[in-house]
Structure 1
Amino acid sequence: MSSAPLASVLFVCVHNAGRSQMAAGFLTHLAGDRVEVRSAGSSPVDQVNPAAVEAMEEIGIDISAAEPKILTTEAIQASDYVITMGCGDACPVFPGRTYLDWALADPAGKGVDAVRPIRDEIKTRIEALIAEIDAKREA
């Protein structure tokens, strides 16, 4: 018997190629089907940052098939949590959503050595987010 996800989460950054893709990969990996995961960008690029893909592969999470997507109003409205990572005023706000802004360095144009600390910070934040979602369910 499968149950509905506990929450839906949308990760947003400008290019939807690094931070938001790593965050989506972590949340999918760590929460499984308990959480519905989306990611998008205010100005998406053609492909996910290869250094982000490599950094995630190092810890056993494959985001190589992910594709940057444009941020839509529908994606925001369908999400319980909207987590922005430097998209500034490009992210519209709707009532009834939990908005979090994660100030993270942008991995664009950086090699895997520079991306690893960003990846590790995202993992820490994802683990805290999962704990928050679980705590709200139990409340």
Structure 2
Amino acid sequence: MRLPRPPPRKVPPVSESKPSVLFVCVHNAGRSQMAAAWLTHLAGDRVEVRSAGSAPAEAVNSAVVEALREVGIDISAETPKVLTVEAVQSSDVVITMGCGDVCPYFPGKRYLDWKLEDPAGQGIDAVRPIRDEIEHRVRGLLADLGVEAGA
């Protein structure tokens, strides 16, 4: 006797799913903060955005805050956050920026390592090109995720 075939499972189209991205650097005071700010700015609420550091600083780098303010993004209220296993587990894409092997690895996650100059201890003139490179990479990430960039 043949059993009836179960109805097909409904899989939501990509446009209905909301990808989540975690940016990780050592101090969560520069590169990862800029990347999270750019992704939030360009994707709005279409992407869940997190950032964290393996050894968080006390505050976000003031030159980073200033560089983003120049392009209309205000992160003055942001604070560095500690990297947790939960943050990695709940993210679809984990992007590391110079944090070495401290990021926990979970199968099924997409890991990218962005090699970027560290803005720590640098002035605004040195931070601007890092900011612009991060914007470029975030726009590419959005295209890979199938999310149209705003702004």
Q: Please give the range of the TM-score, normalised by the shorter of the 2 chains.
A: over 0.9
Structure 1 stretches of 4+ moved >4 Å: none
Q: How many residues align?
A: 133
Q: Confirm whether residue 83 of structure 1 aligns to residue 95 of structure 2.
A: yes
- Corresponding position of 1:103: 115
What's the CA shift for 1:92?
A: 1.2
**Counterpart-to-counterpart distance in 2, 1:36 and 1:65:** 18
**Counterpart-to-counterpart distance in 2, 1:29 and 1:133:** 16
Q: Confirm whether residue 94 of structure 1 aligns to residue 106 of structure 2.
A: yes
Question: For the aligned residues, what is the CA RMSD?
Answer: 1.3
- Segments of structure 2 that go 5 or more residues without pairing to the other structure are 1-14
When residues 106 and 78 of structure 1 are mapped into structure 2, their CA distance, relative to the original with a 3 A threshold, is same
**Counterpart-to-counterpart distance in 2, 1:67 and 1:78:** 20
Q: Which structure shows the bigger proportion of residues in helix conformation?
A: 1
1:18 to 8, 30, 52: 30
- Segments of structure 1 that go 5 or more residues without pairing to the other structure are none
TM-score normalised over the length of structure 2: 0.86
**Counterpart-to-counterpart distance in 2, 1:67 and 1:112:** 19
**Counterpart-to-counterpart distance in 2, 1:118 and 1:130:** 18
Percent of matched pairs sharing the same residue? 70
Return the index of the structure with the highest Cα Rg: 2
1:50 to 45, 62, 69: 62
